């Protein structure tokens, strides 16, 4: 039975949970960290650090995010992934961290999940550990094989680890990811903001991004057709999860997607969850968190830009949360992320190292201090129809427009809110909504010719203000329609009596269309009329129709 739990002192509980790992009876640290270099199959040097506890315990291999490098000293653990490493060592696990190629002290060029290069690098690290000299006390199973775990965080780590090796007994995949095509060009629409962020990352002094990635990114920005470029299609496809190619079929897997992640939304983890559970019969859990990837400040121009584009006086705001991994998750009680990692690996690899952990199959975050517990991902409810919604679509450069403060100059309208249901009692909304869209042929003809798109999300109107839940917009190219039973991006929120849940439809999005004037030499725009239906996730017991009153007031 699903039930939201909101804790007044949840942050304090999370801090206490983190501190409990460093209690007086914690396992003492072993020898000083050992810094080594491991040659990749192609000879590229991979920098690694070994934290040995001196105990006969499993070895956890830990990765890092796209803007970071490996943890080399436990005293320097500042980010949540680094604190996970520290907590694992303090609990008694042996841990090996390494810099992905192109990052930190490793050589080569960053590949972002290349199955051959990044997969070969991971196997090289595992081969070195298996030799025995790095961690002589490493635990081995009855068959003589090392007992290994894997803790990864973004940067295409999920497909690489799942499709590269069968040597892991347990895995924790933070900011879970499965589909590079959907990340870089969702719905066939190049994600201009994240492509630009990738270029910015390639110019950092502590990273060297593949020239192929830089070239494809530049072409995607200039041509605005990334998903239609054959070489780009192959590049993105090979960095995505192929369910049939999964090798880690014996691993227990914990997926931790960010419900506010605008690059790798909840949908990615849901696909991996179904792949591992339904196709391979694995023990897999999905625990969503609040944080994740957002558009960096260098791209979006600072916090004030969002309200400049969707002014509050028009009744719209867009929710975007800063940060990467959350300090704590709610399942439904608060538990610090480092403690969660320790107890997850202990439960599956070394039960003597931590208290037992009983995770349900699914925990979905519905706010900074609340979560719902489910036996499965929510199924869609009954379709809620709408019709006659007129939206102006445009590729206008809203950044320049907002800064000029002349909102009507490009002819850009505010997003349209389509009310669907009124909330009568407090409840949660979490999961993946689905939508069907039909475009009036007469009005859509011009938009099809100009290859324009609409952007659709789930919104909540409260006290006259509409908030797009979790900042999640899904683009739909008008020339690709109609769309039947298509996924919207996953959401998670608590609803209050008096809220109205609805569809938000916009004809533009700065993160997708920023720079359009510069790249295309002008503005394309058209007005289209849309009809369709929305199916919201069904969460028992709130699916009872007495708590949701269908709202037929559709704007025309």
Report the top-level CATH class of 10-179+240-291+326-374.
alpha beta
- The domain spans of the chain are 10-179+240-291+326-374, 384-550
pLDDT at 348: 96
Both tokens of 50, joined, read: 């070994």
12: exposed, middle or buried (Cβ count in 10 Å: 0-12, 13-18, 19+) = exposed
d(CA 212, CA 111) in angstroms, rounded, equals 9
d(CA 459, CA 461) in angstroms, rounded, equals 7
Q: What does the chain come to in residues? A: 556
Question: For the segment 68-109, what is each residue's pLDDT rounded down to a tens digit?
Answer: 789 999 999 988 889 999 999 999 999 999 999 888 899 988
Element spanning 416, H or E = strand 416-423
Beta bridge partners of 419: 502
Q: What's the pTM?
A: 0.85
Nearest of 390, 387, 192, 417 to residue 310 by alpha carbon: 417
φ, ψ of residue 196 to 5 degrees: the values are -65, -40
d(CA 340, CA 525) in angstroms, rounded, equals 49
pLDDT at 338: 95
Instruction: Return the axis-axis angle of helices 211-223 and 192-202, rounded to nearest 10°.
Output: 150
pLDDT at 153: 82
pLDDT at 529: 92
pLDDT (tens place) for every residue of the chain, 556 residues total: 444 333 333 443 333 344 444 433 445 556 689 999 999 999 999 999 999 999 999 999 998 876 678 999 999 998 888 999 999 999 999 999 999 988 889 998 888 788 889 999 999 999 999 999 999 999 999 999 999 999 988 767 788 899 999 999 999 998 888 888 888 888 888 777 777 666 666 655 455 666 667 666 666 555 555 555 666 777 788 889 999 999 999 999 999 999 988 888 999 999 999 999 999 999 999 999 988 876 544 333 333 333 333 333 333 333 333 347 888 998 878 899 999 999 999 999 999 999 888 899 999 998 878 889 999 999 999 999 999 898 888 765 444 333 333 333 344 568 899 999 999 988 899 999 999 999 998 878 877 777 788 999 999 999 999 989 988 999 998 888 899 999 999 999 999 999 999 999 998 776 776 544 444 445 577 888 999 999 999 886 544 333 344 433 322 2
């Amino acid at each position: 039975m699903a039930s939201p739990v909101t804790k007044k002192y949840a942050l304090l509980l999370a801090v206490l949970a983190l501190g409990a790992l460093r209690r007086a009876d914690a396992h003492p640290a072993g020898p000083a960290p050992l810094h080594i270099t491991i040659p990749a199959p192609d000879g590229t040097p991979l920098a690694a650090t070994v934290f040995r506890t001196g105990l006969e315990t499993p070895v956890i291999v830990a990765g890092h995010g796209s803007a970071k490098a490996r943890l080399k000293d436990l005293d320097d653990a500042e980010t949540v992934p680094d604190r996970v490493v520290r907590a694992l060592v303090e609990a008694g696990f042996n841990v090996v961290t390494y810099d992905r190629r192109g990052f930190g002290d490793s050589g080569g060029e960053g590949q972002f999940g290349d199955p051959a290069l990044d997969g070969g690098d991971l196997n090289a690290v595992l081969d070195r550990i298996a030799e025995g000299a790095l961690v002589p006390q490493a635990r081995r199973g009855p068959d003589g094989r090392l007992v290994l775990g894997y803790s990864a965080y973004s940067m295409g780590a999920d497909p690489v680890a799942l499709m590269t090796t069968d040597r892991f007994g347990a895995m924790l995949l933070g900011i879970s990811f499965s589909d590079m095509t959907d990340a870089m060009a969702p719905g066939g629409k190049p994600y201009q903001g994240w492509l630009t962020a990738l270029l910015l990352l390639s110019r950092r002094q502590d990273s060297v991004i593949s020239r192929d990635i830089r070239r494809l990114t530049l072409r995607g920005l200039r041509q605005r057709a990334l998903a239609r470029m054959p070489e780009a299609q192959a590049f993105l496809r090979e960095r995505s999860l192929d369910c049939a190619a999964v090798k880690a079929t014996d691993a227990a897997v914990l997926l931790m997607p960010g419900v506010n992640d605008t690059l790798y939304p909840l949908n990615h983890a849901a696909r991996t969850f179904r792949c591992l559970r339904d196709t391979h019969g694995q023990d897999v859990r999905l625990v969503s968190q609040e944080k994740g990837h957002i558009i960096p400040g260098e791209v979006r121009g600072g916090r004030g830009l969002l309200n400049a584009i969707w002014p509050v006086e028009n009744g719209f705001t867009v929710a975007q949360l800063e940060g990467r991994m959350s300090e704590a998750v709610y399942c439904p009680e608060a538990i610090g992320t480092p403690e969660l990692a320790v107890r997850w690996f202990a439960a599956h690899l070394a039960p003597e190292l931590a208290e037992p952990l009983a995770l349900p199959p699914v925990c979905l975050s519905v706010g900074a201090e609340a979560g719902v517990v489910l036996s499965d991902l929510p199924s869609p409810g009954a379709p809620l129809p709408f019709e006659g919604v007129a939206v102006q679509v445009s590729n206008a450069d809203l950044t320049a427009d907002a800064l000029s403060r002349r909102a009507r100059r490009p002819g850009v309208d505010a997003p349209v809110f389509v009310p669907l249901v009124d909330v009568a009692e407090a409840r949660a909304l979490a999961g993946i909504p689905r939508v069907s869209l039909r475009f009036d042929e007469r009005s859509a003809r011009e938009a099809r010719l100009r290859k324009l798109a609409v952007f659709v999300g789930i919104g909540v109107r409260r006290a006259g203000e509409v908030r797009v839940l979790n900042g999640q917009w899904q683009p739909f190219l008008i020339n690709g329609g109609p769309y039947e039973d298509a996924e919207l991006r996953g959401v998670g929120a608590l609803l209050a009596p008096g809220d109205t849940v609805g569809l938000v439809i916009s004809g533009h999005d700065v993160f997708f269309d920023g720079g359009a004037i510069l790249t295309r030499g002008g503005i394309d725009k058209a007005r289209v009329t849309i009809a369709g239906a929305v199916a919201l996730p069904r969460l028992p017991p709130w699916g009872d129709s007495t708590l949701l009153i269908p709202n037929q007031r559709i704007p025309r």
